[in-house]
Each structure stands twice: as C-alpha cells, then as structure tokens.
Amino acid sequence: MSPPDYYLGKSGQQAREVIEDFDLNYNLGTAVAYILRAGKKPGNDKAHDLAKAREHLTFEIGDEKHIVSDAKESERRFATAIEALQKIAKPLSVFSGEACRSEALDRIDAAREALKQIEGN
C-alpha cells in the first residue's frame, strides 16, 4: 500500500523512511512527520500540523527533563552512599586484631543496610 501524497517528498522518499533513517523515537518521529506534511494534508492547515509537531516536541522535552531529573536523583543517592561509606570506613581503619573484627563487621553490615535504604527511597 502506498502512502498518501502528503507523506512523500519531491524525490518520492516517505516521511516514515526519513524517520527510520535517523532512528528517531516516537515523539521526535511524529513531530518530524507533522512538519514534513505541514499544510499538505487536506483538511489540516499548516498551523494545525505545526501545533501538533510542537506538542510532540514538548512531550520529548518533558521526557528529557524527566531523564535529567532521574539522573540528578541517582547522582544525589550515589553521593549520599559514598558519604555514608566514608563515615564508616574511617573508624574501621583504627581496628586491629581479631578482638575488633566483630565490631568492624557490624559496622559494615550497618553500612550495607544504609545503602539498601538509600537505593529503596
């Protein structure tokens, strides 16, 4: 089945082929499709198609902000975990001999539990 004319470029390349060639995700691909057909589809004026493209670009920007937000949250958790480990590691360096081994292991277990809580929250 051939695509409608408003999805074909001058050379006959389909909007879908351009989107696939650039390996675009859903939001970017849809925005590009709306831009490529802007004002060409019967019943849809150029402003309508461009507004729809803008809508999908806004969705994509929102997704990117969410990704950045998640990355910042992961970075914060990692920093908190490092801080917790440093607090526990410094006192461990003063332990020597078998007599203090039990207390050192208890502190390591406490650190593990703290990291689990950080990862879970």
Identify the CA nearest to 32 among candidates 20, 44, 45, 47: 20
Calculate mean pLDDT across residues 77-105.
Answer: 60
Query: What is the per-residue pLDDT for 55?
Result: 92
Q: Is the pTM of this model over 0.75?
A: no
Query: Which residue did the predictor score with more confidence, 76 or 88?
Result: 76
**Minimum mean pLDDT range among 16-25, 49-58, 74-83:** 74-83
25-72, pLDDT tens digit by residue? 999 999 999 998 888 999 889 999 999 999 999 888 887 776 667 667
